[in-house]
Amino acid sequence: MHSFQQSSDAILRKHGYRLTPQRHMILNVIQEAQGHLSIDQIMERVQQQNPCVSLSTVYRTLELLKSVDLIRESHLPDAQPLYEIADGQAHHHLICRRCHVTIHLDETLLGDLHEQLQTQYGFHHLSLELVAAGYCDNCWHTLQQELAQDNIDPQPTLDIVSQD
């Protein structure tokens, strides 16, 4: 049994659960993606391995895996929730508002904010998720060109001349 599977099994057992074949399959699908997957993508990949696994099983399993901190659910703007393996206490994204490219940011970006929050507010076992949205270089340049074009070529206006 390889280390991720062993640690996942240990975490589930610690919380009173077993690493069932379905849970193992769903965890593997998410781990092998090495990035974000939507529920549709997870379901498609699970069904390729075992068409008998239902959508409700996938949803229940994702909820369980989130509750024991094996996976992370991210809510990015204008997208359905995305899932990935949880690693570390912080998770930050930089997202383009136009093309939706998503960049993972360094988890040390906010320094020891989670420790400060724990000390100052008495919150424990914190997870931090920062979502910053803007425009990537390509989209920014395209947007600027579109705006410039609009200013250069304004829509024609009609002058109404009254006849007396």
| Tens of pLDDT, residues 64-91 | 999 998 998 888 777 788 898 887 666 7
- CATH number of the domain where residue 119 is located: 3.30.1490.190
**Within-domain flag for 161:** no
**Within-domain flag for 135:** yes
**Within-domain flag for 4:** yes
How far apart are the C-alpha atoms of 134 and 47, rounded to whole Å? 35
pTM comes to 0.69
Please give the residue that has the higher pLDDT: either 154 or 133: 133
Annotated binding-site residue? 136: yes
pLDDT (mean) for 31-37: 86
User: Are 60 and 107 members of one domain?
Assistant: no
Structural domain boundaries enclosing 78: 1-87
Strand partners, 95: 102, 133
**Within-domain flag for 164:** no
User: Are 16 and 97 members of one domain?
Assistant: no
**Within-domain flag for 159:** no
Annotated binding-site residue? 52: no
> Per-residue pLDDT for 113 more than 50?
yes
With pLDDT > 70 as the criterion, what percentage of the chain qualifies? 88
**Within-domain flag for 158:** no
Domain total in the chain? 2
User: Are 67 and 82 members of one domain?
Assistant: yes
How far apart are the C-alpha atoms of 84 and 66, rounded to whole Å? 10
With pLDDT > 90 as the criterion, what percentage of the chain qualifies? 38
